[in-house]
Structure 1
Amino acid sequence: MTQATICILITIFLYLLGMLAIGFHCAKKTSSTSDFFLGGRKLGPFVTAMSAEASDMSSYLVMGLPGLAYLSGVADVGWTIIGLAAGTYLAWLLVARRIRRYSQITGSITLPQFFSNRFHDKRSILAAIAAVVIIVFFVPYTAAGFAGCGKLFSSLFGMDYMTAMVISALVIVGYTATGGFLAASITDLIQSIIMTVAIMTVLIFATVQAGGIGAVLDNAKSLPGYLSLGSTYLEETGTSEPYTLLHIITTVSWGLGYFGMPHFLLRFMAIEDEKKLKLSRRVASVWVSISMALVVVIGIAGRALSGKGILDTLHGADTETIIVRISDLLSGYGIIPALLAGLILSGILASTMSTADSQLLAASSSVSQNLLQEAFHLKLSQKASMIAARTTVIVIAVLGLFLAKNPDSSVFGIVSFAWAGFGAAFGPVVMCALFWKRATFPGAVAGMISGGVMVFVWKYLIRPMGGVWGIYELLPAFLVGTLMIVVVSLLTKKPSAEIEAEFELAKKKTDL
């Protein structure tokens, strides 16, 4: 084992140990399900902002996006970033304050519980459906995170892919199952800082090694359509093809996902003071926009390194390891660079873990709180409820490991499907619940089911037809879900006076 490898392993080991320590520390402050699932609504504005974005910016930030930029240029990732940045800002602007207040008025500590409480669903039908949706889509989403960890260690150390995933999963499950939401939020804050340092370090090193900004740009310009938002580079033929309006609509529609992402919306519900959401919005929007732009530039610089023969040319799913390859190159320059490389690789782990922990927590709350206690009406003591929550975290993790066992699976591809599922199933319901007083319980049920089902129908039956049908499944499914809510709500009895009174109370404006 080389000196560089030892330095990297030490850095990663200390990072993982620190995450576990935070989990055990937070466990002392987690005595109820409210603490476990929502941190007692005590998050400060900075923790709220950074934990929300870190939980959102999964391994696709440091693996999917730079890999896609490396492979095909800026069009795909550029329009995706525009959509995600816009979606982030609008979610903070439109949804954050309203759902924070409304969830407190209705006494809701999970998103499925909010759906049922908002529409006075005494039988918790909405909560049960939402819980099933969360389990269906969070298992593959969690699998994507584990796959990112497996690719990291197997490509860097030659470690067995499955072994690497198991080790990573044990750490994530360890601090999530012990410290709950508070541990996930604090670790997410730390992980966002590590991710930022890692991105900046890789960008500077890669640009210098490629010969400077000019050399990076010259290499990119030599590839047809590589730097254009109106065309995309085709590696197989060395040519380009137009990036059509259909493609633009498809990629920009990624931003719709934020309105239905459970682990993202939970941060809005958990902030201590809703008046501080304005600061959180600014911090979150700036950080996420800059971070996504920088990782795209890393992908472009990585392509220049391959063009000069400094790095091997990457193909297919291997392009998602570009930051890992650059870090490996850095580690060969001495002890300090090797330690920096270890920090960078910890940043990649951070991006994966910060999302996986929140996903596991949301799935756990769906089973123990929304299914067992609310839908199935099981009477669980506080202790039994906590045991059920922590057991669910472990079970979901095991299922995620099973789904991610194929090392050739694409992190970006898995995330895009789960993202569409949440955006379409929950997004329309969230927006109508918060902003349309006439929305009814039957309408919400119809919208949630139709949106979720349409994701599968569009992806596997309609999208393969190609042409105008080749659009990303999130947009058509989101529109179908919204339409069903509106139509069914107008055809059914208007909400009760009590529901309307709660809506008006949540609608009351505050100075943001």
Structure 2
Amino acid sequence: MRVNLSALDWFVIAAYLGGILVLGLRVSRGVTNSKKFFVGNRAFGKTIMIAQALGTGTHSDQAVGVAGAAYTGGLSGIWYQWMWLFTTPFYWILAPVFRRLRLTTTADFFQLRYGRPYAVMYAAFCLYLLALWQGIAIKGTSETVSAITGLPECSISITVAIIFTIYGVAGGLVAAAVTDCVQGILLVVLSFLVLPFGLPKVGGLAGLHHALKPDYFTIFGAAGGELSSFNVTMLVISGLAGIVAQPHMMAVASTGKTEWNCRIGWTYGNFVKRFCTVGWTLTGILAAVLLPGLAFGEREKAFGMVVRLVLPAGLIGLMTASIMATAMATCSAFMIDAAALFTENIYRPLIASNKEDGHYLKVARTASVMVTAAGFVCGTTMPSVVAATVHFISILPFLGVSFWIGIIWPRANRYGAWISTLGSAIIFFGAKHIGASNAWASLASLLVGIAGMIAGSYFGEPEEPVRMNRIFGYLQRPAVDNDILSEAVLE
């Protein structure tokens, strides 16, 4: 395979990768305890919180997936990320909830709310999910960078993983959040860099309209298609139901010094992402004119191919560095979230409960590496970025329902939580097995999950009033410090 990089491109890539590694290691020096490793001592300001929300929630596979969907379906491809558009305002409401819980992981909440078995189940599920997400990010990055540069996908994946693993293991969430400040800027560059060079080649936006069929510029796909109005509606609903169960949300939403910082960071960081999605969509439509004839299975290569076609030397290196930046920002954060779940919710309570803090810090760093290795395995087994995205959006409501109802309804109990989670999973996969579409399976699963939660909570015994008073008492008390609930409270 021929390598399509100039000396200037190599210099830009090397300078970026070296610089981000040095920065990550530099800020890692003060990370000497598990509390700072997992949640940064809850001391982040607004800028760090915005960068963390943007960097953790945005990765190159999303640009690749949206551009690929836009290549074949036009503007409707934007919904593979704009499905979160209607969820974003809820972040303003939810951020204080996560901050006031004063917990390290979302599994801690489930332990307090529904008992340890449910929390362990959630932690195990999320370790799989975080490995899957790392795999998606690494796969999307390696495919795109390979299409741009001609380098082998394996060498790209290994390079990206080594860099974010080194500074992530050393500095935990602090290193991930600080490097996100730099990588967030490059993320915006990635989103729009192609357009000033590519649009003149096709006669601007008017040229796109002239070259493509009118249905490329409709916001929804055809009825029965992958992005019909009904399918998009179900993606939006599933996203809202499952967003609270995403394992990295506790770190993204609750690590600010104040509730205001958390609100600003989570909400504004994601609004920047919604803006970037427009650039990804237009890049995919541009590729449909410049690179016609790609097979459906090759559409996710369109982003990288159009970058190589229209950008000059130097900027190809900058785009390549930008794409790698998004993967490293995301994967380093996911790695820390996975380490926190394993250490705090599986290893500490089930394997070694009375060790020094330094012991748990070592376990967390080891778990970080293991989850990254699992991410490689997941990346080799998924059929496509879009398929993996739809898969995790569809399964998150299995647990999201019990979180939403758990913070709203004190009567909700562990019986309802288990019935809801198991029932919705059985219905979803059963419906898919008999040939139902993903949208109809998601609707049936969500309705069964809500009904199961209500029925189980009514007929089962209520949870202990002391624990419920503690949870809802904390939710009513504004958080103004960096405290985390003690282990005694979690028992």
Q: Which of 231, 243, 261 lines up with 1:247 in the alignment?
A: 231
Aligned to 1:329: 309
State the 1:207 CA deviation.
1.4
Aligned to 2:180: 188
Q: Which of 440, 450, 461 lines up with 1:482 in the alignment?
A: 450
State the 1:244 CA deviation.
4.5
CA contact (8 A) 2:255 2:262 kept: no
Larger deviation: 281-290 or 208-217? Answer: 281-290
State the AA in 2 paired with 1:420: S
CA contact (8 A) 2:419 2:456 kept: yes
The whole-number CA distance in structure 2 between the counterparts of 1:305 and 1:254 is 35
| Alpha carbons of structure 1 residues 219 and 248: separation in structure 2 relative to 1, 3 Å | same
State the 1:210 CA deviation.
2.0
CA deviation digits over 1:6-45, x for unaligned, max 9? 2222222222222222321232121111111111111112
CA contact (8 A) 1:56 1:355 kept: yes
State the 1:278 CA deviation.
4.1
State the 1:401 CA deviation.
1.4
The whole-number CA distance in structure 2 between the counterparts of 1:131 and 1:241 is 35
State the AA in 2 paired with 1:168: V
Aligned to 2:60: 59
Aligned to 2:372: 397
After the TM superposition, which residues 38-57 of structure 1 pair with which residues of structure 2 at under 5 Å, given as runs?
38-57=39-58
Aligned to 2:459: 491
The whole-number CA distance in structure 2 between the counterparts of 1:426 and 1:63 is 28
Aligned to 1:236: none
| Alpha carbons of structure 1 residues 217 and 47: separation in structure 2 relative to 1, 3 Å | farther
Query: When the two structures are superposed, what TM-score results if normalisation uses the length of structure 2?
Result: 0.88
The whole-number CA distance in structure 1 between the counterparts of 2:135 and 2:226 is 33
State the 1:66 CA deviation.
0.9
3-state secondary structure, aligned to 2:257: coil
State the 1:133 CA deviation.
0.6
Aligned to 1:418: 392
The whole-number CA distance in structure 1 between the counterparts of 2:82 and 2:348 is 41
Q: Which of 161, 164, 167 lines up with 1:175 in the alignment?
A: 167
CA contact (8 A) 1:145 1:356 kept: yes
| Alpha carbons of structure 1 residues 49 and 372: separation in structure 2 relative to 1, 3 Å | same
After the TM superposition, which residues 125-140 of structure 1 pair with which residues of structure 2 at under 5 Å, given as runs?
125-140=117-132
CA deviation digits over 1:41-65, x for unaligned, max 9? 1111232233123212223332111
CA contact (8 A) 2:37 2:172 kept: yes
Aligned to 2:11: 10
Q: Which of 239, 251, 274 lines up with 2:259 in the alignment?
A: 274
Q: Which of 293, 300, 306 lines up with 1:320 in the alignment?
A: 300
CA contact (8 A) 2:401 2:450 kept: yes
Q: Over aligned residue pairs, what C-alpha RMSD do you find?
A: 2.7
State the AA in 2 paired with 1:100: R
3-state secondary structure, aligned to 1:262: coil
The whole-number CA distance in structure 1 between the counterparts of 2:3 and 2:82 is 42
CA deviation digits over 1:365-424, x for unaligned, max 9? 222221110233443322221111111111121122123236x83122123223333x22
State the 1:2 CA deviation.
8.0
The whole-number CA distance in structure 2 between the counterparts of 1:230 and 1:412 is 17
Aligned to 2:414: 441
After the TM superposition, which residues 287-298 of structure 1 pair with which residues of structure 2 at under 5 Å, given as runs?
287-298=272-283
Aligned to 2:198: 206
Q: Is 2:325 the counterpart of 1:341? A: no
| Alpha carbons of structure 1 residues 215 and 476: separation in structure 2 relative to 1, 3 Å | same
Aligned to 1:161: 153
State the AA in 2 paired with 1:21: V
CA deviation digits over 1:408-463, x for unaligned, max 9? 83122123223333x22331122122222222233334434444x34xx635x422
The whole-number CA distance in structure 1 between the counterparts of 2:295 and 2:413 is 50
The whole-number CA distance in structure 1 between the counterparts of 2:3 and 2:230 is 50
Q: Is 2:473 the counterpart of 1:505? A: yes
Aligned to 2:99: 100
State the AA in 2 paired with 1:246: F
The whole-number CA distance in structure 1 between the counterparts of 2:135 and 2:349 is 27
The whole-number CA distance in structure 2 between the counterparts of 1:172 and 1:243 is 34
CA deviation digits over 1:227-264, x for unaligned, max 9? 2234349xxxxxx9796553233333353232221113
CA contact (8 A) 2:113 2:413 kept: no
3-state secondary structure, aligned to 2:454: helix
State the 1:224 CA deviation.
5.5
Aligned to 1:351: 326
3-state secondary structure, aligned to 1:231: coil
The whole-number CA distance in structure 2 between the counterparts of 1:466 and 1:449 is 20
3-state secondary structure, aligned to 2:411: coil
State the 1:294 CA deviation.
2.1
Query: When the two structures are superposed, what TM-score results if normalisation uses the length of structure 1?
Result: 0.85
Instruction: Give me the identity figure in percent.
Output: 19
3-state secondary structure, aligned to 1:86: coil
Alignment: residue pair count: 477
State the 1:501 CA deviation.
2.4
3-state secondary structure, aligned to 1:226: helix
State the 1:504 CA deviation.
3.7
CA contact (8 A) 1:66 1:298 kept: yes
Q: Is 2:115 the counterpart of 1:146? A: no
| Alpha carbons of structure 1 residues 316 and 265: separation in structure 2 relative to 1, 3 Å | farther
The whole-number CA distance in structure 2 between the counterparts of 1:153 and 1:399 is 21
State the AA in 1 paired with 2:203: G
CA deviation digits over 1:157-176, x for unaligned, max 9? 33222222122211121121
Q: Is 2:83 the counterpart of 1:83? A: yes
The whole-number CA distance in structure 1 between the counterparts of 2:440 and 2:46 is 34
CA contact (8 A) 1:74 1:232 kept: no
State the AA in 2 paired with 1:500: M
State the 1:215 CA deviation.
0.5
State the AA in 1 paired with 2:432: R
The whole-number CA distance in structure 1 between the counterparts of 2:29 and 2:236 is 43
Aligned to 2:34: 33
| Alpha carbons of structure 1 residues 94 and 285: separation in structure 2 relative to 1, 3 Å | same
The whole-number CA distance in structure 2 between the counterparts of 1:400 and 1:40 is 27
State the AA in 2 paired with 1:301: L
Aligned to 1:303: 288
State the 1:193 CA deviation.
1.2
Aligned to 1:370: 345
Aligned to 1:310: none
Q: Return 5+ residue gaps in structure 1 as ranges.
A: 234-239, 308-312
Q: Which of 107, 115, 121 lines up with 2:110 in the alignment?
A: 115
Aligned to 1:231: 221
CA contact (8 A) 2:253 2:266 kept: no
